Structure 1
Amino acid sequence: MSTATMHLVHPRESAMKLVLYAPDRDLVSRLTPLLPAAADVEWQDSGAPAAALEPLRDTGCVLLLDFRHEQAAFSAALVRQVQAQAPELPLVAVGSTASDQLAGVVAALRAGLRDLIDLDAPPHEIEAVLRRASATDASVRAPAAVAHKARMVLLLGVRAGVGCSTLAAHLGVLAQQAHSPLLAQEEDPPPVANHLLLLDLAQPAGDLALYLNLDSSFHYDDALRHASRIDATLARTAMTRHPAGLALLGQAAGTDGTPMADPAVLMQRLRGIFDTLLCDLGGACVRQIPVSLLNSADDIWLVADQAIGTLVSLDQALTQLERVGARDKRLQLVINRFDDASGISPAQIATRFGLPLLATLPDRARLRSAASHGRLLLQEAPRDPYLRALAPLLSRLDPAAAPAARSWREHLALRLSGSQWKTK
């Protein structure tokens, strides 16, 4: 460590030795100003034989790998070499969460790296990553104990086409804005907090990303494979974000409806990171949904409409839920696309199937028109009756945030005139 650097080190701080293992040293100049005073970074040419890492094995250093987009593939190959030559060396990826660099972050996760220095993060976050990586005590390096368990709500569309994913998209954005109302305008920056995760496990796969006009290179299958490495930093950097701030984790478009793998470990991780999980299961057969997911949910909202075919599907879904022990007080009914000229009323449907009626949502052609343009109805028509009808769902989704959400909803109700929704 240089004399200048040593003068900056607090007596109680332990020095961190960092080695950038990369084909060139250009990253050092960008990285150095972001590091804590106790850190000293050196460059080592990754073009040299891997045996050159041997002297570093007992030095307590942390090895940094360049996972910026242009170097990600090369560094992913280096990970395998380093782990074979010096498996005890802690590895940390260096990358950026800028939109054109996210592929590098995903490549680091897929290569098995848990720790990431985000070049766009504030210095205190970078220092926290380095402290965790350089800790020799396994208990220090382990993820922090889960301090809370996020509320999880399943939106179960009883058949494809009842509008479950459209509902999930609007609920997710509105619930996020309830915590950050100033972010409703598109020019405002997204929040950094991991408040709400929208989990898309619906069929057909990928519809939520279309409705939210988002593109992702990190999908649900990736998260399942690397569940033990998911932490708050990876959730913030790898998962795509809507401008309102909510995170989206979904299946890649084209994923078929085969039975899902058990997500118990992943759900445990996600519920320790986010405050609320809203899971879209529209069109998914109950037999394909892992029992652990059904059992761990706080609420299960069955989404249906008044069509006779949908009511048959609702009956079948309830039968299947009963077989797995999930037909209980968590079940509530949401009637979507309600038309008062269709005959049977939502109350009659709820009574017929023995379910509490949580909400009735009106049939709105404007909703489908907005979706065809890649926009949400709240962008096209923020005073639409459909949005007013979501109030009981929003209140139920996040009761822990009731004071903040209530003031936001009161503000929204005032803007919408506060009247009962009407479609005519």
Structure 2
Amino acid sequence: MSSAPIPLLHPMAPPMTLVLVAPSPELLETLGPRLPVGTRVHWEDSRGSSIALDAHRRSGTCVVLLDFRREQAAASTDLTRHLQRSVPDLALVAVGSTAPDQLDGVVAALRAGLRDILDLDAATADIDTVLRRAGGAAPIRSVAPEPAHKARLVLVLGVRAGVGSSTLAVHLGVLAQQLGHPGGAATADADPAQHDNSLLLLDLGQPAGDAALYLNVDSQFHYEDALRNATRIDATLARTAMTRHPGGLTLLGQPAGSEGGPIADPAVLVQRLRGVFDTVLCELGGAPVRQIPRSLLNSADEIWLVADQAIGTLVSLDLALRQLEALGARDARLQLVVNRHDEAGGLAPTQIAERFALPLLATLPDCHRLRASANHGHLLLQDAPRDPYLRALTPLLARLDPALAGALPRGWREKLVLRLSGLPWKTK
């Protein structure tokens, strides 16, 4: 193996040896100006033996850099697995880019189990933090750490598939983001680093992938990926790996076509997400209560049961309540949302609420425009921001984000129209 050291411009303490293991030293030219300083970066040919790393490891703290730019991601994935098997205590850091056309490489690194990602588009201070963490040193902070907080967790539980809980969740999420967080919307020339992590839509409903479909976004980082990397979820990963709608809403869900079944217990993941976001809205439409992890039910601040007036739905609502009671989750957190309300459609929403002893949170009118917009890859917010369906979401918005209560309902519609005007909605 050949070794090509590069001196850096700013000294880094404590002393650390950085070794790029790759088929060629080409990446060193890009790395050099971005790395924090006083260390030497060596190149070792990845086609050689890992024994060559022993000399670097004897010299002190050694961190191995792996090229996870999109073009090298597949080869580096194989190399990562080899090093994890042969030298399990070796500190490995993926080098990649969060540029839209390079994000595949970052996702591949996460799937390979790498905890630390060196973003070529990040500031030197951020790169320094990543390297210090990988090398076991505490990062130097120029400001006090942000105080820990615990986001509100709201479960939207459609009592059976097809009652419209996914449609409700995506509209509610984008609308809450736009009304409550004016800086949340992405613009063509906005700095992604300035985007907030105010609202997350966690889509665990069935059929899988409906939220991404309705939002007209492509997702490469999914729920299973997040579970595998739960301990390293932070604001940076949320910003770089998770899908963000042009309206500012962050989405984490399952890939379309995933088979239904018990949901993997997300206790650690949800705890991390609640430390990153201000609000987590979890959509569980079509998921039987018995398949929902108890940790998710126990940790929720509120549980909204979404139903319509159909007799089959009411039977499903009764079953869901019996199952929640058996799990000890039939309590004051439960509230009823009657969707697709038709005055001539059967029992009135108040009658349904009384029949099942539930507080009625909201009644949403039947809206043909919702289906028409979805068929064109749009949200109703884009096509008809003054529609009565959106107005009917007011009680849900106030419960989802109590900070919005003072701004609703007076003037919110005009505020929304102004926000949506000029918003660069994505189309595939």
Q: TM-score normalised to the size of structure 1?
A: 0.88
Deviations 1:321-357 (Å, cap 9, x if unpaired)?
A: 1111110000001111112222422111111111111
* Aligned ranges 1:128-207 → 2 under 5 Å: 128-136=129-137, 147-181=148-182, 184=185, 187=188, 189=190, 192-207=195-210
Residue in 2 that maps onto 1:422:
none
Q: Does structure 2 retain, via aligned residues, the 8 Å contact 1:146–1:272?
A: no
The separation in 2 between residues aligned to 1:410 and 1:118, in whole angstroms, is: 44
Q: Which residue identity lines up with residue 300 of structure 2 in the other structure?
A: A
Contact 2:179 2:416 in 1 (8 A): no
Tell me the residue number matched to 1:340.
343
Separation of aligned partners in 1, 2:257 and 2:6: 58
TM superposition shift of 1:18: 2.0
Secondary structure of the structure 1 residue equivalent to 2:295: helix
2: CA distance between counterparts of 1:42 and 1:410?
A: 62
Q: CA deviation at 1:183?
A: 5.0
Give the CA deviation at 1:393: 0.7
Amino acid at match of 2:220: S
SS at match of 1:56: helix
**Is 2:247 the partner of 1:234?**
no
- Partner of 2:214 in structure 1? 211
- In structure 1, C-alpha distance between the alignment counterparts of 2:6 and 2:163, rounded to whole Å: 68
CA change 1:411–1:64 in 2 (3 A) is farther
Structure 1: how far apart are the matches of 2:86 and 2:269? 30
Displacement after TM superposition at 1:15 (Å): 4.4
Are 2:26 and 1:26 equivalent residues in the alignment?
yes
**Structure 2 unaligned residues grouped into runs of 5+:** 418-428
Once the two structures are superposed, the pairs formed by residues 10-159 of structure 1 within 5 Å of their partners are: 13-58=13-58, 59-136=60-137, 147-159=148-160
Q: Which is further off, 151-160 or 125-134?
A: 125-134
Deviation at 1:37, TM superposition (A): 3.7
Task: Return the alpha-carbon distance in structure 2 between the equivalents of residues 181 and 411 of structure 1.
Answer: 15
State the shift of 1:158 in Å: 0.7
Distance 1:257 1:365 in 2: 28
CA distance in 2, matches of 1:170, 1:357: 20
How big is the shift at 1:415? 5.0
- Is the counterpart of residue 354 in structure 1 residue 369 in structure 2? no
Q: Tell me the distance in 2 between the aligned counterparts of 1:378 and 1:174.
A: 8
Contact 1:162 1:305 in 2 (8 A): yes
Alpha-carbon distance in structure 2 between the residues aligned to 1:308 and 1:229? 45
Paired with 1:179 and 1:391, the residues of 2 have a C-alpha distance of 13
Alignment of 1:233-252 (within 5 A): 233-252=236-255
AA partner of residue 131 (structure 1): R
Select between 34-43 and 300-309 the one with higher mean Cα deviation. 34-43
Give yes or no for contact 2:151–2:275 (8 Å, CA) kept in 1: yes
Decide whether the 8 Å contact of 1:186 with 1:244 is kept in 2: no
> Among residues 275, 278, 301, which one is paired with 2:304 in the alignment?
301
User: How many Å separate the matches in 1 of 2:369 and 2:119?
Assistant: 41
Report the residue type matching 2:84 in the other structure.
Q
CA 1:115–1:158 in 2, change beyond 3 Å: closer, same or farther? Answer: same
Question: Given the superposition, is the C-alpha separation of residues 3 and 208 from structure 1 closer, same or farther in structure 2, using an over 3 Å criterion?
Answer: closer
| Contact kept in structure 2, 1:53 and 1:86, CA below 8 Å | no
Residue range with higher mean Cα deviation, 55-64 or 15-24: 15-24
RMSD, aligned CA: 2.7
Pair 1:346–1:128, CA change in 2 (3 A): same
Cα offset, 1:125, TM superposition: 2.0
Give the count of matched residue pairs.
Answer: 407
Contact persistence 1:178–1:408 (CA under 8 A): no
Unaligned runs of 5+ in 1: 418-424
Q: Give the letter aligned to residue 346 of structure 1.
A: P
Q: 1:61 to 1:409 in 2, by over 3 A?
A: farther
Q: CA 1:38–1:135 in structure 2 vs 1: closer, same or farther (change >3 Å)?
A: farther
Deviations 1:294-331 (A, max 9, x none): 11111000001111211111111111111111100000
Any idea what SS the aligned residue of 1:81 has? helix
Equivalent residue for 1:281, pick from 259, 271, 284: 284
| Aligned match of 2:422 | none
Q: What is the identity percentage for the equivalent residue pairs of Structure 1 and Structure 2?
A: 65
Between stretches 32-41 and 267-276, larger displacement belongs to 32-41
Once residues 101 and 346 of structure 1 are traced to their aligned partners in structure 2, the CA distance between those partners, rounded to angstroms, is 49
Once residues 14 and 200 of structure 1 are traced to their aligned partners in structure 2, the CA distance between those partners, rounded to angstroms, is 43
CA distance in 2: counterparts of 1:38 and 1:167, whole angstroms: 54
SS at match of 2:126: helix
| Greater Cα offset, 377-386 or 33-42 | 33-42
Take 1:364 and 1:198, find their aligned partners in 2: how far apart are those partners? Answer: 23
Contact 1:14 1:38 (C-alpha < 8 Å) held by counterparts: no
**Cα pair distance change 1:129/1:300, threshold 3 Å:** same
The residue identity in structure 2 corresponding to 1:167 is L
SS in structure 1 at match of 2:239: helix
State the TM-score, normalizing by the size of structure 2. Answer: 0.87
Between stretches 350-359 and 116-125, larger displacement belongs to 116-125
Where 2:259 maps in the other structure, the secondary structure is coil
